[in-house]
């Protein structure tokens, strides 16, 4: 578990401002999803929030993986 945290910390240090904004939008959309599932009202926007969460999560995942592959080629 400690190796995973060290690996993620090393990737996070190489994030740009845009990467951090993407990370925050992923967390925000996840929080909105949790809140929308907890309350019955406002379900008409649920597919839109799901799409925003999935797209931002995939973009963030892709960015972390490309940072990892850049690190491998730098060595």
On the CB side of 22, how many CA atoms lie within 13 Å of its CA?
A: 17
Residues of the domain holding 33? 2-74
Per-residue pLDDT of the chain (75 residues; tens, 9 = 90+): 888 888 778 877 888 899 889 989 999 999 998 888 877 777 788 889 899 999 999 998 898 888 777 665 655
* Separation CA 68–CA 8 (nearest Å): 10
Number of structural domains found in the chain: 1
């Amino acid at each position: 578990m400690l190796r995973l945290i060290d690996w993620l910390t090393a990737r996070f240090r190489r994030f740009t401002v845009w990467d951090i904004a993407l990370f925050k939008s992923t967390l925000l959309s996840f929080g909105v999803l949790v809140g929308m599932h907890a309350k019955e009202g406002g379900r008409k926007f649920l597919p839109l929030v799901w799409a925003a969460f999935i797209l931002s999560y995939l973009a963030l995942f892709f960015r972390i993986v490309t940072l990892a592959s850049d690190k491998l080629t730098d060595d």
